[in-house]
Chains A and B, each alone.
Chain A
Amino acid sequence: MANSSDLTFVTRADLTARRPPPRLSPLAALIRDGGVKRLTGVVYFIALLIFWDPLLAALGITLPVELDGILFTVAICAPLIAVTLLDGLRTQARTGTPFYRDVTFLRNAGEIVLLFLIVQAGVTLFGNLQTNLARSGLVIDFGVIGRTFGVEITEGPDPSLPLEFLNNVPVIGAALAEQPVLRPDTVLRALMTGFANTLSVSSLSLIATTLLGLLIGVGLLSRNWLVRTVANVYTEIFRNTPLLVQLFFLYGGVIKALPPRPREAVEIIPGAMYVSGRGFYYPALVSAEHSTIVTVALLIGVVLALLLWRWRISVHERTGQAAKVWQYILSAVAGCGLVGLLIASAQGGFPYTLALPAVGNFNFSGGASLSAEYLTLFLGLTLYTAAFIADIVRAGIQSVHKGQIEAARALGLNNGQTLNKVVLPQALRLAVPPLTNQYLNLVKNSSLGIAIGFTDLYNVGTIAYNQTGQSVAMFAIMAIIYLTVSLTISFVMNLFNSTLALKTR
């Protein structure tokens, strides 16, 4: 009979014992944790990147460039090689398989080789970049953002906005608080003006294009043949033509073809809204000193609305009464706003006035305006993206099974209720990810403003590059800013998406 210590039998007692897995000591758990391993790796990588050159200088070693690169790569891979070898040897000790035949070891070794190649390629390319730039007399210098920016920017955010409170923000607070003006003296402030322009045109466009896209999407599904055909033709034309062609056509052929003088401008609303070759002029809302009372009242109204919203939802879930959420929210906000208006009017007259644009000889005086470039970019982005959103809306609504609508009818829901409670939640579930994509595309497409002279972030960055020669630094800064905006929009839309997800176990 075999010695029981040589063989391992699994008895029913073992199976039924339901022993918990052996608990690792905290240190062992930390070492085994995948996330901690990755974090350690990334920290080591970054530390080595930053301190490699100072380390070599401190040790007094100077190496030729290629050897330096290879040594750097080996230093990066060294811990991985050590860990893999240790693991392989430990497995060999445990199971008897030589480490060079162990699948895990081979996979890890392959990965190390890949990492070696990637890092080596990166080091070579970057080294090439450095030497070539140095040979051309350029040096990558991220301090370019402090350099002088000598060009006047044609448009920017309102310089009369009070922003002194931003002085408390470290590093960039001073530049932010001193208003991104139209004659920025540093590249940083110019970039902020450009960024403000990008955000402004993108956000306005996002709202307009969603509404227009919804309208056309519903038109694509209309029973009316004429409306359906018009929506189809619109979608096909605007989807199959490049955005740049549309922008150039709008700018050169439509907006710039309008007469530039105020007296010949096109009156959309006589006396109040004009469109000319130089831009779009509309009445400005002028708020008096005591309008802060109204603002505070509206804020209170919003907070009240949020509380009422939660209360009504809980009432609806508890008792089944109709939630009537929108009625409560709107009445709360409107009521508080009205109260604020009354108080403000009692103090010093109606706090808001409209400043109408007045026709002058060479320019409009008063009122607010959007430049021709802003108007073109806004219209172009809106019309182009609306075509894609219309298709997404159509696909979303068509994805809802017909049986759902029939069942809703059988339950006695009317049109509005069917739409709200049955069709839209399911349609949105399908539509939100492609919609996110279109929103990101819109923000990125706003960079095409450079083609028509709109001073958005990309345009300002290009001017800065042209003035300072720091192409790599400017590219990196712009890439980081656009990436941040993209990630923010993705994050918000993913939050929205997760609220729509089917709540399953």
Chain B
Amino acid sequence: MAQIAHDPELFYVASPQAPASRRPPASQIGAVGWMRENLFSSPGNTALTIITALVIGWALVNTISWALRDAEWTVITANLRLLMVGQYEPTQLWRVNLVALVTLFLCGASVVLAAGAGRGVLIALAAAVFALLIIPFSAAGIPPPPIRVLVTPTNAANPLLFIGDAGQVVTIAVEALDDNAQVGDVQNYVGFLENTAGLENSRTLWNDLRAQVTAGTLDLSQYALTLEINVINASGDVLATVNSTPDAHDAMATVMLPASGWYAVMIDRADGATAGNAFVRLDGVTTFTTDAASTSARLARYGEPPLLACPDPATDCLRFVAERDLRFEGSRSLGAYLTTQLVPFVQAVVLPVIAGIAVIVAGGALGAWARRSPQVQSPVQRGLLIAWVVMLFASWFVLRGVEGSTLLTPVPTSVWGGLLLTLILTVVAILASFPLGVLLALGRTSSLPILSAVCTAFIEVIRGVPFITILFFAKLIVPFFISASADVDQVIRMMIGLSIFTAAYLAEVVRGGLQIVPKGQIEASKALGLNGFQQTTQIVLPQALRAVIPAIMNQFVALFKDTSLVAVVGLFELLGIIDFIVNGQQQFRGLAREAYLFVGSIYFVISYAMSAASQWVERTGVGSARR
């Protein structure tokens, strides 16, 4: 032993100096190593990486620049209520909120009770809340983009009405168009769009003007406008005056508003000197929204708008600085995107989202407490189950209303729409199709030939025809099975169609599960003396269903996506309401892309969450007999 220990040829003896770093070479570890391994491991791989990066990069850059600079996301912010609940009676939305909050609470409690709260989920929720609260501050220092109105020789310079608060600083300026070079792209020009057929469309006028100047038929240097612009308050007192004369084309004035209320900008052209075009620019004025809730709040706070020598306000001789009448021209900066698109959207959703998250966390807290103390676990579980059943029945009456009640006034299902209708269709179809599918599967695999033949024929016919054929059948023909007056609710017809369709597909899935149960189980149950019913319900079905939980959840995800097809049949759920929003409202025409992207992302988020949940169930074995 001692001999071997001292033999220098057999053992490595370290040199007295410390060796160079024992770490692996830098090109093999860390980011560089990872890139060499995954992206550049061979010439072919390198070429593939470069080509893919170029293509994807080009697509991403184009998409993001479109989303930030050209897309009008105001169509989403302005129509959030329609997208979420359709045309549900606006004064009765508290019922929808109540049902949603109770559902979220029960969801949080059930999930956490069954599976524990993951730290990642809590962190994600906290990050979401933080982001929602911070984003509105990101635009705090950025002034809103200016508002411009085009004054031409032909259009009547109608008064502009806006709302201001005390202490607000408003700047009015005249930008004379006296040089042909001024018809280039105007940065962040926001013009007024007509909201009825009465007033000229500033943007169209501006584009016509540019076309004329470019074609050479109009020369802007022949400028001879004299404008007198007065800022008045609701009682007619003049607060500031801007005079633009042919000698002094550009003029401006700044005014600090003394009190909260309506203000008007009166534009007068001096007689005779009417040739020429100019912009009247307003800075520091914020626009207001015109949906029902905001209007009532605005009327309560600021009162009615002044009449201002307009004999009949209904004939549109007044222009309002309203959000829905604004459209952008030119390239939009990031600041303008934040102030006009992102921040209003976040402000619109922050309260509901935070309330929802708070309720989920409260439910989760209840679930966590019950999970930790074993003696309350069982009663809480039973309580939650009863709560779910009660909630499902009660929510139908809460949402639908009861005839003759003053608290729960009836709201017909024909006005239900948006995400509310999608989720209701999904939930009802899931609950109805599951027992039906199991029964069909048992019928198909039964040993009675007639029952088996009938069930097989039913399943194969339903699976062999397209889904909208089933919906069409449900909408038009099923009512005739019941009564001639066909007064069955449209929504109920769709629920029937969805349930039948999903039940047929579920039957196939459950049939696969039934085939997995070993024959020995059935023989053992016969040996124990169980009759057919007990055998099925206590031995076969539990094993069969647990084996195919992932496939069943997959089918439910497909069902959620397939509810979009009722849009073809005429219901206004999440997808169907977009047609109403984009084509039915004049100011949102041509904004289909934004609307479909938003709705697509809602579907994506919910479907992805459901798929992830099903994969998690499959992976962790929650719900199986032995964990």
Q: Does B491 contact A (CB under 8 A)?
A: no
Judge whether B484 and A249 touch: CB under 8 Å. Answer: no
Question: Do the beta carbons of B481 and A128 come within 8 Å of each other?
Answer: yes
Please determine whether B592 and A253 come into contact, CB atoms closer than 8 angstroms: yes
Q: Which residues of B contact A111 (CB under 8 A)?
A: 448-451
Q: Chain B: interface residue count, which band?
A: 35 or more
**Residue contact B604 to A114, C-beta cutoff 8 Å:** no
18 A-B pairs with CB atoms under 8 Å apart are: A107-B448, A128-B482, A131-B484, A136-B480, A223-B38, A223-B41, A236-B608, A242-B564, A242-B565, A245-B564, A249-B592, A252-B593, A253-B596, A447-B468, A447-B469, A451-B567, A475-B472, A483-B461
Cross-chain contact of B461 among A246, A471, A479 (Cβ < 8 A): A479
The answer to whether the Cβ of A418 comes within 8 Å of any Cβ in the partner chain is no
Binds B, one of A6-14, A175-183, A224-232: A224-232
- In the assembled complex, A328 has its CB within 8 A of some CB on chain B: no
Residues of chain A from 458 to 505 with CB closer than 8 A to chain B in the complex: 458, 462, 465, 471-472, 475, 478-479, 482-483, 486-487
User: A97 near B: Cβ within 8 Å?
Assistant: no
Q: Does B611 contact A (CB under 8 A)?
A: yes
Is B464 positioned at the interface, with any CB of A under 8 Å from its CB?
yes
Is there a chain A Cβ closer than 8 Å to B172's Cβ? no
Contact with A along B37-58 (1 / 0, CB 8 A): 0110100010011001100100
Known: A114-B448, A225-B39, A482-B469. A241 touches B593 (CB 8 A): no
Chain B residue numbers with a CB within 8 Å of A114 are 448, 450-451
A260 CB to nearest B CB, Å: 14
Residues of A within 8 A of B480 (CB): 128-129, 132-133, 136
- A contact residues, total (Cβ < 8 Å): 57
- Closest chain B residue, CB of each to CB of A138: B480
Q: A241-B607, A472-B477 are in contact. Are A248 and B578 (CB under 8 A)?
A: yes
Residues of B463-491 whose CB lies within 8 A of A: 463-469, 472-473, 476-477, 480-484
Rounded to whole angstroms, the CA-CA distance of A253 and B447 in the bound complex is 54
Asked whether, in the complex, the Cβ of A244 is within 8 Å of the Cβ of B564, the reply is yes
Task: Please state if A241 and B464 are interface contacts (CB–CB under 8 Å).
Answer: no
What residue in chain B is nearest A126 (Cβ atoms)? B481
Q: Is A458 a contact partner of B469 (Cβ separation < 8 A)?
A: yes
Contact: B575 with A226, CB < 8 Å?
Answer: no
The 5 closest A-B pairs by CB, nearest first: A253-B593, A225-B38, A240-B607, A447-B466, A132-B484
Min Cβ gap A45→B in Å is 10
Main secondary structure of the interface of A (DSSP, over half): helix
Majority SS at the chain B contact face: helix
Contact B567 A475 (CB under 8 A): no
* Cβ contact within 8 Å between B448 and A451: no
Assess whether A150 is interfacial by the CB under 8 Å rule. no
Chain B residues, Cβ within 8 Å of A479 = 461, 464-465, 469
Pair A240/B603 contact, Cβ less than 8 Å:
yes
Contacts of B460 in A (CB 8 A): 483
**Interface core residue of A133, A226, A487 (most chain B CB under 10 Å):** A226
Cα distance A465–B38 when bound, in Å? 58
Beta-carbon contact of A136 and B484 below 8 Å: yes
A223-B41, A483-B464 given; A475·B469 CB < 8 A: yes
Query: A249 with B593: in contact, given A107-B448, A132-B480, A240-B607 (CB under 8 Å)?
Result: yes
| B49/A224 in contact, CB under 8 A | yes
Please give 4 more A-B residue pairs, beta carbons under 8 A apart, in addition to A249-B593, A444-B466, A472-B477: A136-B484, A248-B575, A458-B469, A465-B476
Q: A253 to B41: give the CA distance in the assembly, Å.
A: 39
Residues in A whose Cβ lies below 8 Å from that of B447: 107
Selected from A224, A245, A472, the residue in CB contact (under 8 A) with B596 is A245
Given A445-B466, A475-B472, verify A242-B41 contact (CB < 8 Å): no
Q: Do B52 and A245 have beta carbons less than 8 Å apart?
A: no
- Find chain A residues with CB under 8 A from B477 CB: 129, 471-472, 475
Task: Name B582-614 residues within 8 Å CB distance of A.
Answer: 582, 592-593, 596-597, 599-600, 603-604, 607-608, 611
On chain A, the residues within 8 Å of B53 by CB distance are 226
Decide if A257 is an interface residue (CB 8 Å cutoff): yes
